[in-house]
Amino acid sequence: MKRDKQEGPRSGAFLLASVLHFYSGQPLQNLSGVDSSDRSEPRGRYYVERRENIIAVGNSGTGKSHIALGLGLAACQKGLSVGFITASALVHELLEARDEKRLLRLQRQLAGYKLLIIDELGYVPLSVTGVELLFEVFSQRYERGSTLVTSNLPFDEWTSVFGSERLTGALLDRLTHHVHILEMNGDSFRLADSRRRSRRARSEPPADAAPQE
Protein backbone atom coordinates (compact mmCIF):
# COMPACT_ATOMS: atom_id res chain seq x y z
CA MET A 1 0.00 0.00 0.00
CA LYS A 2 1.19 3.47 -0.81
CA ARG A 3 0.79 6.28 1.65
CA ASP A 4 1.72 9.83 0.74
CA LYS A 5 1.36 13.04 2.65
CA GLN A 6 2.83 16.32 1.59
CA GLU A 7 2.32 19.72 3.14
CA GLY A 8 0.79 22.08 0.63
CA PRO A 9 0.38 25.83 0.65
CA ARG A 10 -3.21 25.53 1.81
CA SER A 11 -5.25 23.09 3.84
CA GLY A 12 -8.62 21.73 2.80
CA ALA A 13 -9.87 19.87 -0.23
CA PHE A 14 -8.92 20.13 -3.86
CA LEU A 15 -10.97 20.72 -6.96
CA LEU A 16 -12.14 17.64 -8.82
CA ALA A 17 -12.71 19.51 -12.06
CA SER A 18 -9.29 21.14 -12.09
CA VAL A 19 -7.52 17.80 -11.70
CA LEU A 20 -9.54 16.27 -14.51
CA HIS A 21 -8.58 19.30 -16.61
CA PHE A 22 -4.92 18.60 -15.81
CA TYR A 23 -5.36 14.95 -16.71
CA SER A 24 -6.80 15.49 -20.17
CA GLY A 25 -5.66 18.94 -21.18
CA GLN A 26 -9.29 19.96 -21.55
CA PRO A 27 -12.25 20.75 -19.28
CA LEU A 28 -14.20 17.85 -17.79
CA GLN A 29 -17.25 18.62 -19.90
CA ASN A 30 -15.18 18.03 -23.04
CA LEU A 31 -13.65 14.73 -21.90
CA SER A 32 -14.74 12.03 -24.32
CA GLY A 33 -16.47 9.16 -22.56
CA VAL A 34 -16.77 10.82 -19.15
CA ASP A 35 -20.19 11.49 -17.73
CA SER A 36 -20.46 13.20 -14.36
CA SER A 37 -23.46 14.79 -12.69
CA ASP A 38 -21.13 17.35 -11.07
CA ARG A 39 -19.73 18.92 -14.25
CA SER A 40 -21.20 22.34 -13.53
CA GLU A 41 -21.93 22.00 -9.80
CA PRO A 42 -19.29 23.87 -7.75
CA ARG A 43 -20.51 22.44 -4.44
CA GLY A 44 -19.54 18.94 -5.57
CA ARG A 45 -15.87 19.77 -6.12
CA TYR A 46 -14.65 19.89 -2.54
CA TYR A 47 -15.43 16.25 -2.01
CA VAL A 48 -12.60 15.35 0.37
CA GLU A 49 -13.56 18.15 2.73
CA ARG A 50 -17.16 16.92 2.62
CA ARG A 51 -16.13 13.25 2.99
CA GLU A 52 -17.78 12.41 -0.31
CA ASN A 53 -16.88 9.44 -2.50
CA ILE A 54 -16.03 9.00 -6.16
CA ILE A 55 -16.79 5.91 -8.24
CA ALA A 56 -15.22 5.68 -11.70
CA VAL A 57 -16.89 2.95 -13.75
CA GLY A 58 -16.06 1.91 -17.29
CA ASN A 59 -14.32 -0.45 -19.65
CA SER A 60 -10.65 -1.29 -19.36
CA GLY A 61 -8.29 1.32 -20.79
CA THR A 62 -10.61 4.32 -20.47
CA GLY A 63 -8.44 6.17 -17.95
CA LYS A 64 -10.01 5.29 -14.60
CA SER A 65 -6.73 4.52 -12.82
CA HIS A 66 -5.06 7.53 -14.46
CA ILE A 67 -7.71 9.86 -13.09
CA ALA A 68 -7.54 8.18 -9.68
CA LEU A 69 -3.77 8.72 -9.55
CA GLY A 70 -4.20 12.35 -10.57
CA LEU A 71 -6.76 12.94 -7.84
CA GLY A 72 -4.54 11.23 -5.29
CA LEU A 73 -1.54 13.35 -6.29
CA ALA A 74 -3.61 16.51 -6.00
CA ALA A 75 -4.73 15.48 -2.51
CA CYS A 76 -1.11 14.90 -1.46
CA GLN A 77 -0.20 18.35 -2.77
CA LYS A 78 -2.87 19.77 -0.45
CA GLY A 79 -1.30 18.04 2.54
CA LEU A 80 -3.92 15.30 2.83
CA SER A 81 -3.16 11.67 3.69
CA VAL A 82 -3.81 9.34 0.76
CA GLY A 83 -3.81 5.56 0.39
CA PHE A 84 -3.71 3.88 -3.03
CA ILE A 85 -4.07 0.13 -3.54
CA THR A 86 -5.83 -2.33 -5.84
CA ALA A 87 -8.82 -4.20 -4.46
CA SER A 88 -7.10 -7.59 -4.75
CA ALA A 89 -3.93 -6.34 -3.02
CA LEU A 90 -6.00 -4.78 -0.24
CA VAL A 91 -7.84 -8.03 0.38
CA HIS A 92 -4.51 -9.86 0.46
CA GLU A 93 -3.18 -7.41 3.07
CA LEU A 94 -6.34 -7.71 5.15
CA LEU A 95 -6.19 -11.51 5.15
CA GLU A 96 -2.50 -11.44 6.03
CA ALA A 97 -3.10 -8.95 8.83
CA ARG A 98 -5.90 -11.11 10.23
CA ASP A 99 -3.65 -14.19 10.26
CA GLU A 100 -0.87 -12.20 11.97
CA LYS A 101 -3.30 -10.71 14.54
CA ARG A 102 -2.73 -7.12 13.43
CA LEU A 103 -6.04 -6.61 11.61
CA LEU A 104 -7.33 -3.90 13.96
CA ARG A 105 -4.18 -1.85 13.46
CA LEU A 106 -4.51 -2.07 9.66
CA GLN A 107 -8.21 -1.22 9.82
CA ARG A 108 -7.46 1.89 11.89
CA GLN A 109 -4.84 2.92 9.34
CA LEU A 110 -7.26 2.48 6.44
CA ALA A 111 -10.01 4.37 8.27
CA GLY A 112 -7.62 7.25 8.96
CA TYR A 113 -6.82 8.22 5.37
CA LYS A 114 -8.48 11.42 4.20
CA LEU A 115 -8.68 9.78 0.77
CA LEU A 116 -8.46 6.03 0.16
CA ILE A 117 -8.25 4.94 -3.49
CA ILE A 118 -9.23 1.34 -4.21
CA ASP A 119 -8.37 0.52 -7.81
CA GLU A 120 -9.60 -2.28 -10.08
CA LEU A 121 -12.55 -3.55 -8.08
CA GLY A 122 -14.04 -6.46 -10.00
CA TYR A 123 -10.99 -7.43 -12.03
CA VAL A 124 -10.02 -10.37 -9.78
CA PRO A 125 -12.42 -12.75 -7.97
CA LEU A 126 -12.36 -12.42 -4.18
CA SER A 127 -12.87 -15.04 -1.49
CA VAL A 128 -15.89 -14.91 0.82
CA THR A 129 -13.69 -13.93 3.77
CA GLY A 130 -11.88 -11.34 1.65
CA VAL A 131 -15.18 -9.80 0.60
CA GLU A 132 -16.32 -9.54 4.22
CA LEU A 133 -13.07 -7.84 5.24
CA LEU A 134 -13.30 -5.44 2.29
CA PHE A 135 -16.87 -4.58 3.25
CA GLU A 136 -15.67 -3.71 6.75
CA VAL A 137 -13.18 -1.24 5.26
CA PHE A 138 -15.94 0.56 3.37
CA SER A 139 -18.22 0.46 6.40
CA GLN A 140 -15.58 1.87 8.77
CA ARG A 141 -14.84 4.75 6.37
CA TYR A 142 -18.49 5.67 5.88
CA GLU A 143 -18.86 9.43 6.46
CA ARG A 144 -15.36 9.53 8.00
CA GLY A 145 -13.30 9.97 4.84
CA SER A 146 -13.50 10.01 1.06
CA THR A 147 -13.18 6.74 -0.81
CA LEU A 148 -12.46 6.54 -4.53
CA VAL A 149 -13.23 3.27 -6.29
CA THR A 150 -12.50 2.31 -9.89
CA SER A 151 -14.26 -0.66 -11.47
CA ASN A 152 -14.81 -2.21 -14.87
CA LEU A 153 -18.22 -3.48 -13.75
CA PRO A 154 -21.54 -1.59 -13.81
CA PHE A 155 -23.30 -1.48 -10.46
CA ASP A 156 -25.77 -4.22 -11.37
CA GLU A 157 -22.84 -6.64 -11.75
CA TRP A 158 -21.18 -5.90 -8.40
CA THR A 159 -23.00 -8.88 -6.91
CA SER A 160 -20.60 -11.06 -8.92
CA VAL A 161 -17.76 -9.59 -6.81
CA PHE A 162 -19.41 -9.58 -3.39
CA GLY A 163 -21.42 -12.77 -3.90
CA SER A 164 -24.48 -11.61 -1.99
CA GLU A 165 -27.22 -9.19 -2.99
CA ARG A 166 -27.61 -8.22 0.66
CA LEU A 167 -23.92 -7.39 1.07
CA THR A 168 -23.75 -5.62 -2.29
CA GLY A 169 -26.80 -3.55 -1.45
CA ALA A 170 -25.37 -2.55 1.93
CA LEU A 171 -22.05 -1.60 0.34
CA LEU A 172 -23.60 0.48 -2.43
CA ASP A 173 -25.87 2.16 0.11
CA ARG A 174 -22.77 3.43 1.96
CA LEU A 175 -20.67 4.24 -1.09
CA THR A 176 -23.36 6.07 -3.04
CA HIS A 177 -24.85 8.07 -0.16
CA HIS A 178 -22.49 10.98 -0.90
CA VAL A 179 -20.97 10.20 -4.29
CA HIS A 180 -19.73 11.57 -7.59
CA ILE A 181 -20.03 8.98 -10.35
CA LEU A 182 -17.73 9.14 -13.37
CA GLU A 183 -18.90 6.92 -16.20
CA MET A 184 -15.90 6.22 -18.42
CA ASN A 185 -17.61 5.01 -21.57
CA GLY A 186 -15.06 6.04 -24.19
CA ASP A 187 -12.75 3.87 -26.26
CA SER A 188 -9.65 2.33 -24.71
CA PHE A 189 -6.77 4.83 -24.64
CA ARG A 190 -4.26 1.99 -24.78
CA LEU A 191 -5.94 0.40 -27.80
CA ALA A 192 -6.14 3.76 -29.58
CA ASP A 193 -2.46 4.42 -28.84
CA SER A 194 -1.49 0.99 -30.20
CA ARG A 195 -3.44 1.68 -33.37
CA ARG A 196 -1.72 5.04 -33.83
CA ARG A 197 1.70 3.44 -33.41
CA SER A 198 0.82 0.71 -35.90
CA ARG A 199 -0.34 3.23 -38.49
CA ARG A 200 2.81 5.29 -37.94
CA ALA A 201 5.03 2.23 -38.33
CA ARG A 202 3.33 1.28 -41.61
CA SER A 203 3.70 4.79 -43.01
CA GLU A 204 7.40 5.18 -42.16
CA PRO A 205 10.04 3.57 -44.44
CA PRO A 206 12.43 1.05 -42.84
CA ALA A 207 15.58 2.61 -41.41
CA ASP A 208 17.80 0.52 -43.72
CA ALA A 209 15.80 1.19 -46.87
CA ALA A 210 17.92 2.37 -49.77
CA PRO A 211 17.22 5.93 -50.92
CA GLN A 212 15.44 6.23 -54.24
CA GLU A 213 17.43 7.66 -57.19
CATH of the domain at 107: 3.40.50.300
Neighbours of 18 (CB within 10 A): 13
User: Is residue 39 one of the residues assigned to a domain?
Assistant: yes
Residue 117 within a domain: yes
Q: Which of 63, 80, 10, 71 is nearest to 45 (CA)?
A: 71
- Residue 197 to residue 117: CA distance in whole angstroms: 32
Question: Is residue 211 one of the residues assigned to a domain?
Answer: no
Which residue intervals of the chain are DSSP H helices? 16-24, 64-77, 87-99, 103-112, 128-141, 159-162, 165-175, 189-203
Q: Could you give the maximum distance between any two Cα atoms of the chain, in Å? A: 77
Inter-residue contact 155 to 57 (CB < 8 Å): yes
Q: What is the pLDDT of residue 76?
A: 86
Residue 46 is predicted with a pLDDT of 78
Q: Which pLDDT value is given to residue 207?
A: 58
The kind and range of the H/E element at 115 are strand 115-121
3-state secondary structure of 211: coil
Q: Give the count of domains, the chain.
A: 1
pLDDT in tens, the chain (213 residues): 654 554 333 333 334 444 444 444 444 444 444 445 444 332 334 789 899 999 999 988 888 998 898 888 888 888 899 999 999 999 999 999 999 999 999 999 999 999 999 999 999 989 999 999 999 999 999 999 999 999 999 999 999 999 999 999 999 999 999 899 998 876 655 545 555 666 666 666 665 655 555
Tell me which residue range forms the domain holding 168: 2-200
Residue 193 lies in a domain: yes
- The pLDDT assigned to 97 comes to 97
Q: In what order do the strands lie in the sheet with 115-121?
A: 2-4, 82-86, 115-121, 146-151, 53-58, 179-184, 34-36
The pLDDT, as a whole number, for residue 61 is 84
Q: Does the residue 206 lie in any domain?
A: no
Whether pTM > 0.85 for this model: the answer is: no
Residue 205 lies in a domain: no
